[in-house]
Structure 1
Amino acid sequence: MSSSPSPLSARGSRLALLVVGLCWLAVLFDGLDMFIYGSVLPHLLETKTFGLTADTAGDLGSYATFGMLVGALAAGTIADRIGRKKLMVSCVVLFSLASAVCAIADSVAVFGLGRTLAGVGLGGLLPTAISMVSDYAPRGRGAIVIGLLMTAHHAGGILSAYVAKWLVDPVGWRAAFWVCVLPLLFAPVLARFLPESLSFLVAKGRGDEARALAARYDVELPAAKSAKPGAADRWTNLVNLFRGGEWIQTLLYWLASFGGLLLVYGVATWLPTLMRAEGYELGSALSFVVVFNLGGIVGMLVAGRAADLPHPRLRSGGGTPTGAPRISAIWFALTAAGVFLLSVHMPMTATMVVVFLTGVFLNSAQTMIYATVSIRSNADNRATAVGWTSGMGRFGAVFGPWLGGQLLAAGNGDWGFTAFALAGLSSMVFIGIAAVRGARQTPKSTAGPELVSAH
């Protein structure tokens, strides 16, 4: 006979729902702002707005991803000072106001400034939101909750396509960016109802406040660290990634992440334009954005569920968990095949299926790189290893939009999908070699993987 949930458990579930719901909406607006540029880009190029050319458009796409790199790197330090809640509100305000700059821009320089500032806000929001939902996730459900959160990013991509379809032709491209200013109205709601991070309260010595909140809502209180690592400790953790033969594994992870995020952001920026170059109408090209992001939603839920399940071991007596890197390698291969097939003009139904599956595999493949690094790292070094792998990948995120623009500017648009497919194959090779090498080594950790956003 099943027992009814305790009042504490019910309250904990309601708090988790509140935190995840608010963070989900914030990440939805993050995804809308990120993808809106790619959705309106075909129109900007066709109308030669600001005298925009393909190579300049690629540069503009890289400005936002460079801003995301800056925002992601600064997020941890700023959050440690002002709190994760205030940082999230600040990021929403920043990328909303930056979209207003884009909407009123009268030159490429002003538009580029707006996209760079938006990128800083976007890059700071995502890791902070992931940290927030991790604090308040029900026990044992952290990975699937983060996977659920990341569906919001792809839902924002879907929304961006519809905003472009509904507004760009009848009203103009500026209207699409004015829509991206609307999250500014959400910032006061976030400030009013989102609780502060439990990890932040514990770190700041506000233990009584944290314990009261955790007890009230039946959530697990994060463990207090005896001492905060200083600069020397962080430097030691980084150096440890290169000691002995570890430097090979570290470089393999970094190279795989570089190729993966090059592929993610290259496709996100140029998919509608490249599909237009393949002969599809603008409406159809934007529909591919919707289908691609639907695949991304499915892929993130699958990755979240897989990360919450026990990982098989190759050898009896406990070997290295190898599921994540092998899945990542296989899925990068499938992604490369899907991206390459997009360069072939197929029947619409077949193209839609390929775009959907590419969305499923691509985003989850990148996520599994981070899961692999988390599995292979010891507890003291895990945050450094995952953080630097993500950071190196961000350079690929900057390079991807630029690469697509250069190929189109040179009249080699047909090579766009091929170039992105080669990036997927390179990530497959690097993470595959890392998987083989890792299987031969004694594991440093048998803990389950941390699910980290592919973005």
Structure 2
Amino acid sequence: MSSSLAPSARGSRLALLVVGLCWLAVLFDGLDMFIYGSVLPHLLATKTFGLTPDRAGDLGSYATFGMLVGALTAGTVADRIGRKKLMVACVTLFSLASGVCAIADSVTVFGLGRTLAGVGLGGLLPTAISMVSDYARGGRGALTIGALMTAHHAGGILSAYVAKWLVEPVGWRSAFWVCVLPLLFVPVLAKVMPESLSFLVAKGRTEEARALADRYEVELPAAAGKKTSADRWDALIDLFRGGEWLQTLLYWLASFGGLLLVYGVATWLPTLMRGEGYNLGSALTFVVLFNLGGIVGMLVAGRAADRFGAPRISALWFALTAAGVFLLSVRMPLGVTFLVVFLTGVFLNSAQTMIYATVSIRSTPAGRATAVGWTSGMGRFGAVFGPWLGGQLLAAGNGDWGFTAFALAGVSSMVFIGLAALRSARRPERSGAEQQLIAAQ
């Protein structure tokens, strides 16, 4: 190979390495997030810690509350210490927190472990997407980010197999010990991962950023003016000026219902399916199919939104999700149920992404980051409420209503995002790459 070609080949391999490291980190994120739902049927059946359905719902909400904290603080922390260090810290935190769950001798200690894990989980995904955005090679931004987001659902699939292979023969603690293993990945991440180009430029380390950009053969991000606290508050107030308050509220309500549905189903799907008469093996197979659907959905949603518009796709996806979730409350032949679970995963896991795309499309450039960030933050309260709601319904002996309640959340999000889109002025659609970028918020 000639010397003129060597830098290009080296840059390509290193850029792929950055994406690969982030993919593995998000895979571990998904494993840790979904593992609780995968072992929950066993915890309830064996009455571990005297666990009841309502208490189990509370525990599920602890992790999502931690994710709310992690997501809201990730940007501030990353601005101070750098995205690379934050990624290392997040993987370390949720791995150690799983160790706390594995050795827990009470429901209080177990809940603390899940809360701490949630903080790490909530901070990792937006940081990882920011990293791959910096290093995505020209013209491949949408493909790179879409591929990264499949890792979360791959982690969900892995969680089902971990539970299926280990929980019955070895015990539920073994599943959480598996979630500690990403600690072995931390030194590799710390040594090999380069720092974010955006962070280096923002900190004035321009020469270091330029050297990395040349090495990875990517475009150096433009320096942005530093935002003050007053700027951030002005952007937030703009969301409520004039008649904008109603549209903002509709977006927030749509996001609340969407994440209630996502995390409610993710936590309770195996348990609810067991309640419908399926054995544990089949219930965990549903988790696999649900997350396979999520992978497919993430790869096709952007293309559909490019063609038909993100608001339409978001509303349609939520309608199809609601129909799929409701059908799961009906006893059907096993093959049909498998198909419904897969299709529900396709639509559910990308419907929320399309809310963020819609908000981004309808926002002004100056206020876009604030609008999407707060829509995501308000939605996180739904993520906390969803697992709790499922637990309360099961505790009251109304497990059959679990799927109905989640389906109604999908219908509400369809209505709210549809009304918001009708009220907003028509603006040019964003590209598929941009729509997937804001899915990290």
Tell me whether the two structures share a fold, i.e. TM-score over 0.5. Answer: yes
Q: Secondary structure in 1 aligned to 2:170? A: coil
Paired position in structure 1 for 2:411: 425
CA distance in 2, matches of 1:214, 1:100: 38
Q: Is the 8 A contact 1:24 1:152 kept in 2?
A: yes
Deviation at residue 249 of structure 1 after TM alignment: 1.6
Of 213-222 and 289-298, more deviation after overlay is shown by: 213-222
Conservation of the 8 A alpha-carbon contact between 2:311 and 2:417: yes
Determine the C-alpha separation between the residues in 2 that align with 1:127 and 1:299. 19
Is the contact made by 1:35 and 1:269 (CA closer than 8 Å) also made in structure 2? yes
Aligned to 1:73: 72
- Segment drifting more, 190-199 vs 445-454: 445-454
Query: Within the alignment, does 1:136 sit opposite 2:122 as a pair?
Result: no
The residue correspondences of 1:16-55 to structure 2 (distance < 5 A) are 16-55=15-54
Report how far residue 246 of structure 1 moved.
1.5
Residue 211 of structure 2: aligned partner: 212
* 2:168 match: secondary structure: coil
Distance in 2 of aligned mates of 1:95 and 1:177: 11
Aligned-residue offset at 1:235: 0.1
CA contact (8 A) 1:145 1:304 kept: no
CA contact (8 A) 2:18 2:132 kept: yes
Residue aligning to 1:190: 189
Match of 1:344 in 2: 330
CA-CA distance at 1:146 after TM superposition: 1.3
How big is the shift at 1:185?
0.4
Which of 355, 370, 374 does residue 356 from structure 2 map onto? Answer: 370
Correspondent of 2:279 among 278, 281, 288: 281
Residue from 390, 399, 405 that aligns with 1:413 = 399
Normalising to structure 1: TM-score of the pair?
0.93
For residues 123-168 of structure 1, what are the alpha-carbon distances to aligned partners after superposition, in whole Å with 9 as ceiling and x for unaligned?
0111100100111111232222111111000000000000000000
Query: Hey, what's the Cα distance between the residues in 2 that align with 1:290 and 1:437?
Result: 39
The two structures have a TM-score, normalised by structure 2, of 0.96
Deviation per residue, 1:306-339 (Å, 9 max, x gap)? 56xxx46xxxxxxxxx700100100100000000
1:292-303 equivalence runs, <5 A? 292-303=290-301
**Is the Cα contact below 8 Å between 1:147 and 1:303 reproduced in 2?**
no
Once residues 157 and 305 of structure 1 are traced to their aligned partners in structure 2, the CA distance between those partners, rounded to angstroms, is: 24
Q: In structure 2, the residue corresponding to 1:450 is in which secondary structure?
A: helix
Tell me what 2:144 maps to. 145
SS of the counterpart of 2:169?
Answer: coil
Distance 1:454 1:287, change over 3 A: farther
Q: CA deviation at 1:447?
A: 4.3
- Cα deviation for residue 247 of structure 1 reads 1.4
C-alpha displacement of 1:16: 2.4
Q: 1:9: Cα distance to partner?
A: 4.6
Given that 1:363 and 1:454 are in contact with CA atoms closer than 8 Å, whether structure 2 keeps it comes out as no
Q: What SS does structure 2 have at the residue aligned with 1:168?
A: helix
2:153/2:294 contact within 8 Å kept: yes
Does the Cα contact within 8 Å between 1:296 and 1:359 map onto a contact in 2? yes
CA distance in 2: counterparts of 1:114 and 1:379, whole angstroms: 39
> How much does 1:174 deviate?
0.3
1:71 and 1:332 map into 2 onto residues whose CA distance is 26
- Contact 1:370–1:390 (CA under 8 A) maintained in structure 2: yes
1:383 to 2:369 alignment: yes
The answer on whether the counterparts of 2:257 and 2:412 sit within 8 Å (CA) in structure 1 is yes
Q: Sequence identity of aligned pairs in percent?
A: 83
The aligned runs of 1:85-234 (5 Å cut-off) are 85-225=84-224, 227-234=225-232
For residues 103 and 427 of structure 1, the distance between their equivalents in structure 2, rounded to whole angstroms, comes to 36
Aligned residue for 1:13?
12
Asked whether 1:245 is paired with 2:243, we answer: yes
Any conservation in 2 of the 1:34–1:157 contact (CA below 8 Å)? yes
CA contact (8 A) 1:39 1:272 kept: yes
- Superposition deviation, residue 8 in structure 1: 5.0
State the alpha-carbon separation in 2 of the partners of residues 428 and 346 from structure 1: 26
Q: Once the 2 structures are TM-superposed, how far is the Cα of residue 370 of structure 1 from its aligned partner?
A: 0.6
Q: Is the 8 A contact 2:309 2:429 kept in 1?
A: no
Q: Secondary structure at the match of 2:439?
A: coil
Once the two structures are TM-superposed, the CA of residue 244 in structure 1 deviates from its matched residue by: 1.6
How far is the alpha carbon of 1:15 from its aligned partner?
2.5
Residue 303 of structure 1: how far off its partner (Å):
2.5
Structure 2 residue 435 is the aligned partner of structure 1 residue 450: yes
Matches within 5 A, 1:319-358: 323-358=309-344
Cα contact 1:143–1:305 (8 A) shared by 2: no
RMSD: 1.5
What are the ranges of 5 or more consecutive residues in structure 1 without an aligned counterpart?
313-321
* Per-residue deviation, 1:104: 0.4
> Structure 1 residues 265, 12: closer, same or farther in 2, change over 3 A?
same
Contact 2:362 2:426 in 1 (8 A): no
**What's 1:317 paired with?**
none
Q: Distance in 2 between matches of 1:149 and 1:230?
A: 32
Deviation at 1:64, TM superposition (A): 0.1
Q: Which residue of 2 aligns with 1:437?
A: 423
Q: Distance in 2 between matches of 1:237 and 1:23?
A: 31
Counterparts of 2:414 and 2:7, CA distance in 1:
46
What is the match of residue 253 of structure 2? 255
Match for 2:128: what amino acid?
A
Q: Is the 8 A contact 2:87 2:127 kept in 1?
A: yes
SS at match of 2:65: helix
Whole-angstrom CA distance in 2 between matches of 1:224 and 1:447: 23
Mapped contact 2:304–2:313 kept (Cα < 8 A): no
Q: Higher helix proportion, which one?
A: 2
Distance 1:303 1:137 in 2: 20
CA deviations on 1:391-440 (whole Å, 9 max, x unpaired) are: 000000000000000000000000000000000000000111122222xx
Between the aligned partners of 1:287 and 1:130, the Cα distance in structure 2 is 29
Q: CA deviation at 1:216?
A: 2.1
Report the equivalent of 2:59: 60
